[in-house]
Chains A and B, each alone.
Chain A
């Protein structure tokens, strides 16, 4: 059983459309992160959220941490082909000393 469930697992949309990726859990996390991974490379950190209800924006990407700190979402506005990649959420529980990852969302943006 995955501690962090991401949905959808695959998403293919046209350039210019909007999309949202979800990361859900029944556990409470002290922090939650989003990474992007391109083929043949390691994941790269996009953002960290630590406060329930927190919203962070990174250009066309908006990240939200749920009020109860059990879930998070990533919203992309006007998607571009350069947004194509594997998006991973990862959470750290209080005092756990380790990150747990969701299974990832493979996003394809078609020109």
Chain B
């Protein structure tokens, strides 16, 4: 199993450009999510999905879109990149075990917006 994979690993964008961060998992997990990580702020939830065709907003959804057409894939789209979106982005998939959700994270995408 590859687990959770993310591409690209690094990306530099100019303000106003758009792009899609890819995320895929091969563990057949129903739940997937996107986080951004900024210094001193831990991980903040952008969007999440509880299954194919279902998505919902997290704490910081503005400027990002998601879709979930398959169980395996959960791409994150930046519509018009802004310097405030410079961050490290993590995708995660999870399942329930013993009443708790256990998350598996991808290796991250480091995005710089100039």
Contacts of A11 in B (CB 8 A): none
Q: 1/0 per residue B45-58: CB within 8 Å of A?
A: 10010100000101
The answer to whether B98 touches A103 (Cβ under 8 A) is no
Asked if B103 is at the interface of the complex by the 8 Å CB criterion, the answer is: yes
Known: A41-B108, A43-B90, A98-B48. A50 touches B98 (CB 8 A): yes
Indicate which residue in B35, B41, B100 contacts A33 across the interface (CB closer than 8 Å): B100
The answer to whether B99 touches A50 (Cβ under 8 A) is yes
Interface size class of A (residues with CB under 8 A): 20 to 34
Q: Chain B binding site: helix, strand, loop or mixed by DSSP?
A: strand
The answer to whether A31 touches B42 (Cβ under 8 A) is no
Interface residues on chain B, number (Cβ under 8 Å):
28
Question: How far, in angstroms, from A90 to B102 measured CA to CA in the complex?
Answer: 10
Which residues of B line the A interface, CB within 8 A? 4, 33, 35, 40-45, 48, 50, 56, 58-59, 90, 92, 97-108
Q: List 27 A-B contacts (CB under 8 A).
A: A6-B42, A9-B40, A30-B99, A31-B99, A31-B101, A33-B102, A33-B103, A40-B108, A42-B105, A42-B108, A43-B43, A43-B105, A45-B103, A48-B100, A50-B98, A50-B99, A50-B100, A90-B103, A92-B101, A97-B50, A99-B45, A99-B101, A100-B59, A101-B42, A101-B43, A103-B42, A104-B42
